[in-house]
Structure 1
């Protein structure tokens, strides 16, 4: 049974919907959905008015869907995720980290793009990491194979997205 991008997209979004705020995107070319997650942890001494520390973590997910992923399309998706993700981040002294996660669903991938995906990296420090940092996690789901290709930062999500592929098939 062959997988369709729409069914994989629904499986991915269903797996995110418990913890993330999901927004469908209609008028943009290959961007089909955005999701965001915000977490805040605090430590108190005896009462809540005496706070020792607070930490915020965010994850901004951008989901793209394309029939063929070539180098131009890959670059557009990557740059769009970075620019929109950085606009969402508001660093301050309790901001620890923000993940910018780009998930690209593709029916076919141009072979030279695979090495670009695996070697892709982006990170940004805010005020020498005193106000946290941002990291790009990049994952491409090859629908025809089916396989998940990720950069080094995105490797931690490969099992999660592989389970989405298994759920559909």
Structure 2
């Protein structure tokens, strides 16, 4: 097994502790090495569950694909398009929904062009659902550069890729 396969397999195994992980899933025209879904619901009650004070639901989705060739602008556009098409089908139409975060991740062992790095930094999209009454959805593009041991993402998305960075910096056996 090569380095990319080992890294992706190890990362998918780490996600299984808190995410539902689906391996080799095809969405649209892209076959992902794995997709991961996390759902969290918090509620506050007053004396009994019949009197709910507030409730919020948060979700996170990861769509990860491996790419053995150099990443192009067209690859990023295709990934961005597929992830954006999934936003409406993955976000619930409830007033308790607060936020959904979508990560489109490309793992590569090829050099990453500076133009691609710049495109990834601009790869954030924020979408308010029903004018914000039903929360919001965020989409980030992420490139994991195995050669340079770097995770490229928009600055606001750094918190969502902390686990990927930690996995990248540790030795995978």
TM-score by length of 2: 0.88
Deviation at 1:88, TM superposition (A): 0.9
Match of 1:162 in 2: 165
| In structure 2, C-alpha distance between the alignment counterparts of 1:85 and 1:141, rounded to whole Å | 22
CA contact (8 A) 2:25 2:35 kept: no
Root-mean-square deviation (CA), in Å? Answer: 1.7
Does the residue aligned with 2:148 lie in a helix, a strand or coil? coil
Distance (Å, rounded) in 2 between the aligned partners of 1:71 and 1:60: 22
Contact 1:30/1:66 (CA < 8 Å) preserved in 2?
A: no
From 49, 73, 76, the equivalent of 1:74 is 76
CA distance in structure 2 between the aligned counterparts of 1:26 and 1:147, rounded to whole angstroms: 25
Distance 1:31 1:49 in 2: 42
Q: C-alpha offsets along residues 101-125 of structure 1, whole Å, 9 cap, x if unaligned?
A: 1221011223311100012220110
The number of aligned residues is: 167
SS class of match (1:18): coil
- The 3 A distance-change label for structure 1 pair 41 and 26 is closer
**Could you tell me which residue of structure 2 aligns to residue 102 of structure 1?**
104
Separation (CA, whole Å) in 2 of partners of 1:48 and 1:86: 30
Q: 1:98-151: per-residue Cα shift (whole Å, max 9, x none)?
A: 111122101122331110001222011012111100001222100111111111
RCO comparison, higher one (Cα < 8 Å, 6+): 1
Unaligned runs of 5+ in 1: none
State the TM-score, normalizing by the size of structure 1. Answer: 0.90
1:159 Cα deviation after fit? 3.2
| C-alpha displacement of 1:29 | 4.3
Whether the 8 Å contact between 1:136 and 1:153 is mirrored in structure 2 is no
What CA distance in whole angstroms lies between the structure 2 residues aligned with 1:147 and 1:19? 24
Mapped to 1, the partners of 2:30 and 2:77 lie a distance apart of 14
Partner residue in 2 for 1:142: 145
